[in-house]
Amino acid sequence: MAIDVIHIENVSVEFNGAVILNDISLEIYGNEFTVVIGPNGAGKTTFIKSILGLIHPSKGEIKVFGHNPFREGEYIRKIVGYVPQYIRISDVIPMNVLETVLMGILVKKKPPRIPSKTDIQSALQALKVVDMVEYRERYIHELSGGERQRVLIARAMVRKPKYLILDEPFTGVDVKSQRELIEFLHKIHVENKVGMLIVVHDLAPIIRYVDKILLLNKRVVAYGSPRDVLKKETIKEAYGAEVEILEHDKICYPLLGDVHRHR
């Protein structure tokens, strides 16, 4: 029987002897909308990369829907779509929107990587989900931050994953486009039944769609429903006593400045 959970047991990650993730144990449900928050350097990206089999934990076990991300990396990357935190978009080799989405399929093929009619259909279908079909011939480096993120979501969706992992997809995206992106992700979650794991900086705009929050700072500070996790004490524990907190409808939000420069 397929087990639709990401099972993480006693996982630690070390880089050059420094402990980055310390004894993480939790289960993330494949049908849920899960958000990961935590201060800079908390290990959020490392956590995601461990799930994807891109980083080898020094201890512990990870099973993604019953599969080992290392031994079955190729399978994991087929069923789990990934939008990384920083993507270099080359304007040396200009690529248009459709070609970028097609890369999501073609990387799996041996050269010469010539898209089939079905590949193009799948790419257009994925662009439709994020309402970007009209932009298909525009060059990626000409797009706004929000439009670019929509294309990258389409690129992750083109292989029809059952789960989608996004690492701070709203960085460098203005408030209006951020709201649109959140609506697209919610739609994908509901209509295509795709589970979501999203690292975010600002919780407020996404909170109404969230099932679970993981508050991470090298270890699991808290994991559960927004109401259970977003308490003054837990936020201070993760972000430090000096963090400003905004309380709304019995839910507390850490007030964080713009901590990421666009790289």
Ligand X SMILES: Nc1ncnc2c1ncn2[C@@H]1O[C@H](COP(=O)(O)OP(=O)(O)OP(=O)(O)O)[C@@H](O)[C@H]1O
Binding site for ligand X (CB under 6 A): 15, 20, 38, 40-46, 85
Report how far residue 244's alpha carbon sits from residue 242's, in angstroms, rounded to the nearest whole number.
6
Which residue, 45 or 122, is less far from Mg ion as judged by CB? 45
Task: Kindly state the number of chain residues that form the binding site for Mg ion, as judged by CB under 5 A.
Answer: 3
What does each C-alpha distance from 248 to 200, 212, 231, 251 come to in angstroms? 19, 18, 11, 5
Which residue, 44 or 77, is less far from Mg ion as judged by CB? 44
Report how far residue 66's alpha carbon sits from residue 30's, in angstroms, rounded to the nearest whole number.
11
Report how far residue 86's alpha carbon sits from residue 92's, in angstroms, rounded to the nearest whole number.
18
Taking residues 56 to 95 in sequence order and writing x for each that binds Mg ion by CB under 5 A, - otherwise, the string is -----------------------------x----------
Which residue, 228 or 258, is less far from ligand X as judged by CB? 258
Q: How far is the CB of 36 from Mg ion (least distance, A)?
A: 9
Which residue, 85 or 96, is less far from ligand X as judged by CB? 85
Q: What is the DSSP string of 246-257?
A: EEETTEEEEE--
Count of CB atoms situated within 10 Å of the CB of 60: 16
Q: How far is the CB of 221 from ligand X (least distance, A)?
A: 12
Which residue, 44 or 212, is less far from Mg ion as judged by CB? 44
Tell me the CA end-to-end span of the chain in Å, nearest whole number: 43
Torsion angle, CA of 24/29/33/34, rounded to 10 degrees? 0
Binder of Mg ion out of 34, 45, 122, 234 (CB under 5 A):
45
Residue 122 touches which member of ligand X, Mg ion, none, C-beta under 5-8 Å by kind: none
Chain positions contacting Mg ion, by CB under 5 A? 44-45, 85
